[in-house]
Chain A
């Protein structure tokens, strides 16, 4: 046990301040009013769905929970059930084999809800594009509030996108810890 505690002490707390939300990633005006955004911004539950990604974006989403980004420290956590979620974080071009599961996940979420499309593929279909097997961009299947490009988007960019989705463009202080 002392070895374990020693490691914890040696590692310290590497958590870094959160980046500011990037309102530029919004696809349009917020669909939710400020009061609701404020509530969500303090305790946000995210359901992630890989709708066809190469798993590169998943690596960076995992990184959000490492001690440096410590997303949970902001009150934002990933949940197992869409019924518990306020936000749907979608990666990948939407494969035709996943389109139905993605739609059903969205429908299972309670209102109000927001959708973030992550990565070049989520934004535009990326290198996979649209084909017999791929519907391309997430917005071809669901309404998207925020889209964050990158291949994969780095964790800080993902945080900026997640925060932008629950922050009104005029009020960007929600990110301060």
Chain B
């Protein structure tokens, strides 16, 4: 692990102070989770990212602990998730978040004494949405099954005419017990599950998991493996950005865009399949290294693909930027002002499109990016058009990064044997995936098992921002705005 990780245990006052000082220093909340420490002891943990430092703060808790959502609003839902899974509560929102009707408020599935396969007594699935009153206000309820090939979630719109006054998200539908499942796996097998926290970010999560485990074992992977991981991560970014640009064109009324971009994405996936054995490079990043390699012909094939893609992307970008209909739909639509993005602690691509220079790849210490020196791509306007621009810019940058990776690829092994970390050994993985920064926090148990693993998707921070971006827009623009964020349900529902 090359970034600086500081771990501290605090009391309640220290917990408040840690949040406050991270906030004052311009830091952000990376992740917030709870754990059963055994022997009836519970704890909550926060990961604050302050520049290139990560502060892992732990607070032993019983039933209540201080709310930090005034400094970091995204903490609200994470605190509710902790209450659902373990019991301790912060803040005054007592509604379940991950807990719908599958278990009751007095069951705590993530406690060690609750078996993984327990059938818990069912609870009440009703949910109290915040009502909006006034003349002409009505509600539109959407989901959990959406009108398309999308993940499930519920959106409650309060509208006047066509204009959105309020949006309230209700997520947690795809909660499938990932964190509990981790605890039934060996440290090695956990990598497969990490790669399935959010399928579209499989490389980012698998890398973060491997980084966490390698940190716990104090055994960095071979240099070549890091560069190959970066190659796969950039290809994941390219694939997702291509897909999103296609759908953004389509949702903006330009079906041509979907046909073209989905063709380019398919070409890329087929190259992945041919060279790496899997279209999305699932399970290719493993603890200790990678199980792929590139020889000279593969290298040339990827370089040729970069050339082709760059030419096509240039032409498609010109078409997108010159298309009056598409521009009309996207400019000033779903605007997340830089100030609001900062207040909400938005991360990743959405933050960069709202004028914030946040990209873990450009922080010092993230090998191999510290030697690749990627360019940070950002825009100021925070609207759908900005998120399109950032995607185009990042595509070109990722293609260029791919070239730099292939030309500078160090020789050597792709995988090294990983010593088993001692029981209690812990590590953190921090990777800038295509959507934003992904964290995996891992604690080893005796015998090569997992004591606790918390994977964190940037969607936790960015879902609340969607509620703001949509305000004042018309309902028919919601799909376009939603797509421009393209957040993960599975990654945050766990």
B120 interface contact, C-beta 8 A: yes
Give the Cβ gap from B170 to chain A, nearest Cβ, in Å: 10
Please tell me if A36 contacts chain B, counting CB pairs below 8 Å: no
B456 contacts the other chain (Cβ, under 8 Å)?
no
Q: Which of the segments B46-54, B193-201, B421-429, B462-470 contacts the partner chain?
A: B193-201
Of A53, A67, A132, the contact of B174 (CB 8 Å cutoff): A53
Of A66, A98, A129, which contacts B265 at CB under 8 A?
A66
Tell me the minimal C-beta distance from A122 to chain B in angstroms. Answer: 12
Q: How far is the CA of A151 from the CA of B178 in the complex (A)?
A: 17
Give CA–CA (A49, B263) in the complex, Å.
Answer: 24
Map CB proximity to B onto A139-156 as digits: 1 under 8 Å, 0 otherwise. 000000000000110100
Whether A128 lies near B176 (C-beta < 8 A) is yes
Task: Give bound CA distance, A131 to B114, whole Å.
Answer: 11
The answer, among B177, B316, B318, B488, for a CB contact under 8 Å with A133, is: B177
Q: Which residue of the partner chain, among A57, A68, A95, A152, contacts B173 with CB atoms under 8 Å?
A: A95
**Closest chain B residue to A101, Cβ basis:** B144
Which among A6-14, A23-31, A37-45, A169-177 touches the partner chain? A6-14
Name the distance in Å between B266's Cβ and chain A's nearest Cβ.
5
Q: Which residues of A contact B266 (CB under 8 A)?
A: 63, 66-68
Are the C-beta atoms of A4 and B256 separated by less than 8 Å? yes
A56's partner among B107, B181, B280 (CB-CB below 8 A) is B280
CA distance A83 to B119 in the complex (A): 32
Check B172 for interface membership: any CB of A closer than 8 A.
Answer: yes
Q: With A53-B490, A132-B103 as given contacts, are A80 and B148 in contact (CB-CB < 8 Å)? A: yes
B89 within 8 A of A: no
Q: How far is the CB of A18 from chain B (nearest CB, A)?
A: 15
Measured between beta carbons, the chain A residues less than 8 angstroms from B173 are: 52, 95, 97-98, 101
> Dominant SS at the A interface?
mixed
Name the one of A52, A93, A131 contacting B116, with C-beta atoms under 8 angstroms: A131
Decide yes or no whether B151 CB sits under 8 A from chain A: yes
Cβ of A78 to closest chain B Cβ, rounded Å: 6
Q: CA of A97 to CA of B192 in the docked complex: distance in angstroms?
A: 24
Contacts of A97 in B (CB 8 A): 98, 100-102, 172-175
Quick check: B177 and A3 within 8 Å, CB to CB? no
B102 touching A131, Cβ below 8 Å: no
Across the interface, do B117 and A132 meet the contact criterion of CB distance under 8 Å? Answer: yes
Interface residues on A, range: 35 or more
A62 neighbours in B (Cβ, 8 Å): 149, 243, 262
B117 CB contacts on chain A under 8 angstroms: 130-132
Let me know if A124 is at the binding interface, CB within 8 A: no
The one of A14, A101, A128, A130 that contacts B178, using a Cβ cutoff of 8 Å: A128
B319 at the interface (CB under 8 A from A): yes
- Whether the Cβ atoms of B199 and A98 lie closer than 8 Å is no
> With A101-B145, A131-B180, A152-B199 in contact, is A50–B150 under 8 Å at CB?
yes
**Is the CB–CB distance between B120 and A132 below 8 Å?**
yes
- In the complex, the answer to whether B260 meets A58 with C-beta atoms within 8 Å is no
Cβ contact of A132, chosen from B100, B109, B312, cutoff 8 A = B109
- For residue B130, CB closer than 8 A to chain A, the reply is no
Q: Whose C-beta in chain B lies nearest to the C-beta of A55?
A: B199
**Contact in complex: B175, A95 (CB < 8 Å):** yes
Q: Does B294 contact A (CB under 8 A)?
A: no
Q: What is the CB-to-nearest-CB distance from A130 to chain B, in angstroms, rounded to a whole number?
A: 6
Contact yes or no, B280 A131, CB < 8 A = no
Q: List A residues 119-139 near B (Cβ within 8 Å).
A: 127-134
- Identify A65's interface contact among B103, B175, B262, CB under 8 A: B262
Q: What's the nearest-Cβ distance from chain A to residue B282, in Å?
A: 7
Residues of A within 8 Å of B144, CB to CB, are 98, 101
Q: Are B148 and A53 in contact (CB under 8 A)?
A: no
Q: Which residue of B lies closest to A70 (CB)?
A: B259
For chain A, residues 86 to 138, give those with C-beta under 8 angstroms from any C-beta of chain B: 92-93, 95-98, 100-101, 105, 127-134
Return chain B residues, CB-CB under 8 Å to A132.
102-103, 107, 109, 114, 116-120, 177, 180
Chain B nearest Cβ from A174, distance in angstroms: 23
Task: Chain B residues near A8: list those with CB within 8 A.
Answer: 256
In the complex with contacts A61-B149, A80-B147, A131-B180, A54-B319 CB distance below 8 A: no
Does any Cβ of A come within 8 Å of B382's Cβ?
Answer: no
User: Judging by beta carbons under 8 Å apart, are A49 and B152 in contact?
Assistant: yes
CB pair A3 B145 closer than 8 Å = no
Q: Are B109 and A133 in contact (CB under 8 A)?
A: yes
Answer yes or no: A81 CB below 8 A from chain B CBs: yes
Contact A127 B181 (CB under 8 A): yes
Q: Does B404 contact A (CB under 8 A)?
A: no
A87 CB to nearest B CB, Å: 13
B269 at the A/B interface (Cβ < 8 Å)?
yes
CA distance A80 to B142 in the complex (A): 12
In the complex, the answer to whether A66 meets B262 with C-beta atoms within 8 Å is: yes
Question: Is A54 touching B197 in the complex (CB atoms < 8 A)?
Answer: yes
Q: Is B202 an interface residue (CB 8 A)?
A: yes
> Which of B98, B149, B256 has the most chain A CB atoms closer than 10 A to its own CB?
B149
Q: Which residues of B contact A100 (CB under 8 A)?
A: 101, 125
A55-B151, A101-B173 as given contacts; A7 in contact with B316, CB under 8 Å:
yes
Question: Which residue on A lies nearest to B151, using beta carbons?
Answer: A50
Given A3-B315, A7-B316, A66-B265; A131-B152 close (CB under 8 Å): no
CB-based closest 8 A-B pairs: A56-B199, A80-B147, A133-B177, A96-B102, A66-B262, A54-B199, A131-B177, A54-B196
A residues near B (Cβ < 8 Å) are: 3-4, 7-8, 11, 14, 48-63, 65-68, 78, 80-82, 92-93, 95-98, 100-101, 105, 127-134, 151-152, 154
Jot down 16 A-B pairs with beta carbons below 8 A, ordered by A. Answer: A7-B312, A7-B319, A53-B199, A54-B198, A55-B151, A55-B488, A68-B266, A78-B148, A92-B176, A97-B102, A98-B144, A98-B152, A127-B196, A131-B177, A133-B102, A154-B273
